[in-house]
Amino acid sequence: MGDLLNCVGNTPLIELKSFSTRQVRLFAKLEMFNPTYSIKDRIVLHILTQAKQKKLLHPGATIIEATSGNTGAALAMMSALMGHKVILTTPEKTSRAKVNAMQAYGADVRISPASAKKGEPEHYISVAKELHSSTPDSFMLNQYENPANIEAHYLTTGPEILNQMKEKIDYLVACGSSGGTITGVGRFLKEYLPEIKVVMPDPVGSVYYSYFKTGKIDKNVIQPYAVQGVGKDFICGCMDFSVLDDIVQFKDQDAFDSVKKLALQEGIFAGGSSGAALYAADLLIKKIKRSANIVVIFPDSGLKYLV
């Protein structure tokens, strides 16, 4: 017997048999089985627990964070359980379903224009930082730069995958936005399985692909894209490119088509970032000419995007 927070993590990992071949087997880590239906429950629980232990988060304090939605929902839920007021900032492309969920948990949600660029006062991260500095007794998770984001996945998601796969993994495919998931899981798995290859899908319009290939930030590649929770128009502190072996670019339609295939062929209704990960994994399957196991991480549920 325990509370809802005991339900975070230990999510199922299953084989996607309609995508596996005779030689290459594809397995999916289903993070929509967390309490708020996304992988972000892991980092929020870890950061809040750590903050309380270090006395950075006091009873009655206001919690503030910039989010594209999933971290916000997790934070709003846990803040409600812990008795904290929460203020969340998010870009206007965030789905209505995600905003509704954050508000249902009692969060004060501030929406920033999608046109606002990183560093501008109206950008959702800038708004969160200003609110944090102007709100007495407030705490900000700072998920994009906080190493505890990486640590959460190094300590939980990575070990779970290793155990569930009985240490037989050749490739990891996972999306990156803040970078915490792929850095934490990839770093952990490479310590145990040095030969594993880590592949990240990145949307056309994000800076990560060009930065990985050239080592430089090319602002000319930045353009709007629809898939949420993937890529960025700046380099997040939690994104460790040394963990990656390759980045695969995808277009919005590639991700959304893969979401449909996943639902029709496997009965799994996942979000667009899961579609992106599946698209990259499917390309990988077609390239591999030997026996191999691929693990793909599906970050959230498609139910978060219906409105």
Identify the bridge partners of residue 173 per DSSP, sorted by sequence position.
199, 296
**Are the C-beta atoms of residues 63 and 75 closer than 8 Å to each other?**
yes
Identified catalytic residue from 29, 40, 190, 232: 40
Nearest of 186, 174, 157, 184 to residue 277 by alpha carbon: 174
> Is there a catalytic annotation at residue 117?
no
In order of 124, 151, 233, 264, the CA distances from 298 in angstroms are 25, 19, 22, 16
d(CA 93, CA 260): 21
CA atoms lying within 13 Å on the CB side of residue 151: 12
Please list, in sequence order, all residues whose beta carbon lies within 8 angstroms of the beta carbon of residue 294, skipping any fewer than 6 positions away. Answer: 24, 25, 26, 27, 169, 170, 171, 172, 173, 281, 284, 285
Q: Which two tokens stand for residue 172?
A: 């990891």
CB atoms within 10 A of CB 251: 16
Identify the bridge partners of residue 91 per DSSP, sorted by sequence position.
112
Residues recognised as catalytic: 40
